[in-house]
Amino acid sequence: MRPFWWWRRIPLASLMLIRQPVRLVVALAGISFAGILMFMQLGFRDGLFDASVTVHRRFDADLVLISPRSTSSVRMAGFPRRRLIQTMADPAVEGITPVHWSLMLWRNPETRHTRSILALGFDPEDPFFTDPDLPAKARLLSQKGRVLFDERSRPEFGPVAAWFREGRTVESEIGGNRVRVAGLVALGTSFGADGNLLTSSETFLDLMPNTPSGSIELGLIRLLPGADPEQVRQRLQALLPEDVRVLTKQGFIDFEQNYWRSSTSIGFIFTLGAAMGFVVGCVIVYQVLYTDVSDHLPEYATLMAMGYRLPTLLGVVVREGLLLAMFGYVPAYLAGQGLYWFVREATRLPVGMDLSRALTVFTMILVMCMVSACLAMRRLVDADPAEIF
């Protein structure tokens, strides 16, 4: 019968780490720095993709009609409005909403400086957003020259929301035309647009007089309950000429995100930044574990001479890497939460912590420490007790 203390193992890995507190603190600081770098880079990347489709997600539509020449929300091309009307021939189509979409120059009512703002024009009587509060606000656009201003726009557009809440009459200019703010909406900024406003199609065409008659940039299609959007999309694409492209709502969202992901360098830069954080962390952890193994080679060699098998000793190094990953992740997570809040307040971008990103960064830190531990173990594998003594 084995003694009662047989199952009690000495926590060798943790004892070796805390033996030199300064080295441990430096190691955890390095791992936390790498984790923070990965959190920020991935957060900026995902925040970019989410912000780019803030408006897209709100559309009250099952299918979307765009021009094949459109590349993104900042480069929307027009197509004949009659194409959208032709979709009503499909028995599954319940309703349509033509939409004008363009960037305009908004004049700050306080500083008089101009800045590009995304303007969307639609018929106030047509369904537009899934937001239940919008129909009542949209009726305010029936009067010509009225707009709904996005209260989440960047401050460079002026204190429009604050003035409006104070009861002041807020007027500005777009392309030399006078407009009045009739209400506020909450949409949010993106990398493509620092602000948004909604207006009627009539006002939009007055603000953009060069827009061809009968041309729109977006067509929203609503289907009858129970209709399969993908099947209807295929039918409409086969029915309509090649000067339009039919997308599902999710396909329209993917269309925008794929532009920023593949057609610009932004997504690549942020992903590369996260990879660089991973590499930096690997170097730091490797240096710590390699130095630790080198400093304790006589002890390891003694244990090997006493009969301890090499896999057992290698497990000590692996556990050291696991402990470093766990304790280094906690401050990185907390710092990431704080930095996300700061970025949201400073840029109005939807950068926030979610479970997927938290698990992704933890996995990267864990792999980082395990890879570094495996590389450091080579020093132990090559150790020869006879040479050490």
Domain of residue 18 covers 10-51+265-388
Same domain (yes/no): 88, 195: yes
- Per the domain annotation, does 280 fall within a domain? yes
CB 194 within 8 A of CB 116: yes
Tally of domains within the chain? 2
Same domain (yes/no): 42, 75: no
pLDDT in tens, 49-76: 787 788 888 999 999 999 999 988 888 8
Q: Which of 243, 275, 304 is the last residue of a domain?
A: 243
Phi, psi torsion values for 9, nearest 5 degrees:
-105, 145
Same domain (yes/no): 193, 338: no
- The neighbouring-strand residues paired with 129 are 59
Same domain (yes/no): 143, 207: yes
Same domain (yes/no): 73, 15: no
Same domain (yes/no): 98, 238: yes
pLDDT in tens, 88-117: 999 999 999 999 999 999 999 988 899 999
Q: Above 70 in pLDDT, residue 121?
A: yes
Q: Are strands 146-150 and 177-185 parallel, antiparallel or unpaired?
A: parallel
* DSSP-derived secondary structure for 99-134: EEEEEEEEEPTTT--EEEEEEEEE-TTS--BS-TTH
Same domain (yes/no): 285, 239: no
Single out the residue of 10, 189, 219 nearest to residue 95, CA to CA. Answer: 219
Of the ranges 189-193, 203-207, 322-326, which one carries the lowest mean pLDDT score? 189-193
- Per the domain annotation, does 250 fall within a domain? no
Same domain (yes/no): 172, 294: no
- Per the domain annotation, does 157 fall within a domain? yes
Same domain (yes/no): 222, 281: no
Q: Element (H or E) spanning 233, and its range?
A: helix 229-239
Same domain (yes/no): 208, 350: no
Note the pTM of the prediction, 2 decimals: 0.73
What pLDDT is stored for residue 310 in this prediction? 65
Of the ranges 44-58, 141-155, 194-208, 301-315, which one carries the lowest mean pLDDT score? 301-315
CB 200 within 8 A of CB 124: yes
- Per the domain annotation, does 3 fall within a domain? no
- Per the domain annotation, does 150 fall within a domain? yes
Phi, psi torsion values for 188, nearest 5 degrees:
120, 155
What pLDDT is stored for residue 64 in this prediction? 95
- Per the domain annotation, does 255 fall within a domain? no
Same domain (yes/no): 33, 149: no
Same domain (yes/no): 108, 186: yes
CB 20 within 8 A of CB 252: no
pLDDT class for 386, splitting at 50, 70, 90?
low
